[in-house]
Amino acid sequence: MSSKMEAIHELLGYERLKIVQNPEMFRFSLDSLLLADFVRIRDGVQEIIDLGCGNAPIPLFLTLKTKARITGVEIQKEVFELGEKSVRLNGLEDQIRLINADIKAVSKTLGANLFDVAIANPPYFKAGPKSNLNKTDALSVARHELKITFEELVIEAKRLLKNGGSFNLIHRTERIGEVLEGLRRNGFGVRRLRFVHPKKENPALLFLLEAWKNGKEDVKVERPLYVYENGEYSEEVRGIFNYKKNEYNQ
Predicted confidence at residue 144, as pLDDT, reads: 45
Task: Grade residue 250 by pLDDT with cuts at 50, 70 and 90.
Answer: very low
Q: Which domains does the chain have, with CATH numbers?
A: 7-169+176-183 (3.40.50.150)
> Which DSSP string do the residues of the chain spell out, in sequence order?
---TT-EEEEETTEEEEEEEEBTTTB---HHHHHHHHH----TT--EEEEET-TTSHHHHHHTTT--SEEEEEES-HHHHHHHHHHHHHTT-TTTEEEEES-GGGHHHHH-SS-EEEEEE----B---TT----SSHHHHHHHBTTS--HHHHHHHHHHHEEEEEEEEEEEEGGGHHHHHHHHHHTTEEEEEEEEEESSTTSPP-EEEEEEEETPPP--EEPPPEESEETTEE-HHHHHHHT--SSGGG-
CA distance 135 to 125: 15
Q: What is the distance between the alpha carbons of residues 158 and 214, in angstroms, rounded to a whole number?
A: 9
Between 147 and 177, the higher pLDDT residue:
177
Q: Is residue 46 within 8 Å of residue 3, measured between CB atoms?
A: no
The strand pair at 69-74 and 47-51 is best described as parallel
How confident is the model over 117-149, as pLDDT tens digits? 999 999 886 765 554 555 556 554 445 445 689
Question: pLDDT digit string (tens) for 197-224?
Answer: 999 999 999 999 999 999 999 999 999 9
The share of the chain scoring above pLDDT 70, in percent, equals 81
CB burial string 150-173: b at 16+ within 10 A, e below = bebbbbbbbbbbbeebbbbbbbee
Pairing of strands 220-221, 206-213: unpaired
Name the band, by pLDDT with cuts 50, 70 and 90, for residue 248: very low
Q: Enter the pTM of the model.
A: 0.87
Burial 91-113 (b: 16+ CB within 10 A, else e): ebeebbbbbbebbbebbeebeee
| Residues in CB range of 43: below 8 A, 6 or more apart | none
Closest Cα partner for 59 from 79, 26, 86?
86
Q: What is the DSSP track for 175-198?
A: GHHHHHHHHHHTTEEEEEEEEEES
Phi, psi of 151 (to 5 degrees): -60, -45
Average pLDDT rounded to a whole number, residues 23-48? 87
